[in-house]
Structure 1
Amino acid sequence: MNTAYTTKEIQARVDAYISQFKEGYFSPLSMLARMTEEVGELAREVNHTYGEKPKKASEDANTIEDELGDIIFVMTCFANSLNIDLSEAFEKSMTKFETRDKDRWTKKTQEDLHND
């Protein structure tokens, strides 16, 4: 599966899915709880993959990719429920990082870039 989606397409697809249910989007507080649950599941997968805690034989074979996908879904639900355009939110965030943190870390030299 090699599909690329724009944020607008992601938001539209999630909205089409959620719109078919009478319950619709959860409240912001419930969305935050869902997001926290999903981030916890991601942490668990990272710990199983890169940490010292192996999975039990009885545990599902989730992957970091699966958990990141779940986070994208819940984040999109959260944004949609509050009428937030994820592209605009991302642009604001990147502008903040590119200005505030532009000199925070050691930049790669031309040689570093060539060796990558």
Structure 2
Amino acid sequence: MEKSLAEMQREVDRYISQFEEGYFSPLSMLARMSEEVGELAREVNHQFGEKPKKDSEDENSIELELGDILFITLCFANSLNIDLSAAHDSVMHKFNTRDASRWTKKNTDQV
């Protein structure tokens, strides 16, 4: 079942709201996000780079690391009352206008 960003934001908020501590401060969340991006970089390097995983390292995956990044992004947005669907729409508008001619589009004409 697909979930919308709004549904994911509500789900994360329900989860976080059950704890007295609530959301961490924006600075703490930025540090956590940086940590998670570093873990993603490590996984990508293990799978596609020149640095194989050590036998002593835990099994992990790019999928799980992206999930961690998504979770902290949802937390960050919720803590600042940011609607990620609206943010996404704004970003896509920017890309579709500012970058409309930046990249070579695929030829979609049927011959």
Question: TM-score of the superposition, structure 1-length normalised?
Answer: 0.92
For residues 109 and 16 of structure 1, the distance between their equivalents in structure 2, rounded to whole angstroms, comes to 45
1:1-116 matched pairs, under 5 angstroms: 3-110=1-108
Distance 2:51 2:15 in 1: 36
How far is the alpha carbon of 1:91 from its aligned partner?
0.3
| CA offset digits 1:35-66 (Å, max 9, x no partner) | 10010000000000000000000111110000
Letter in 1 for 2:16: I
Aligned-pair identity in percent equals: 68
Distance in 1 (CA, whole Å) between partners of 2:108 and 2:21 is 54
Q: Secondary structure at the match of 1:110?
A: coil
Could you tell me how far apart the structure 1 residues matched to 2:9 and 2:30 are? 18
How big is the alpha-carbon RMSD for the aligned residues of Structure 1 and Structure 2?
Answer: 1.0
Separation (CA, whole Å) in 2 of partners of 1:68 and 1:36 = 12
User: What are the ranges of 5 or more consecutive residues in structure 2 without an aligned counterpart?
Assistant: none
User: 1:58 corresponds to which letter in structure 2?
Assistant: S
Partner Cα distance (2:108, 2:74) in 1? 37
**Which runs of structure 1 show a deviation greater than 4 angstroms over 4 or more consecutive aligned residues?**
none
Letter in 2 for 1:43: A
Q: How many residues align?
A: 110
What is the TM-score with the length of structure 2 in the denominator? Answer: 0.96
Unaligned runs of 5+ in 1: none
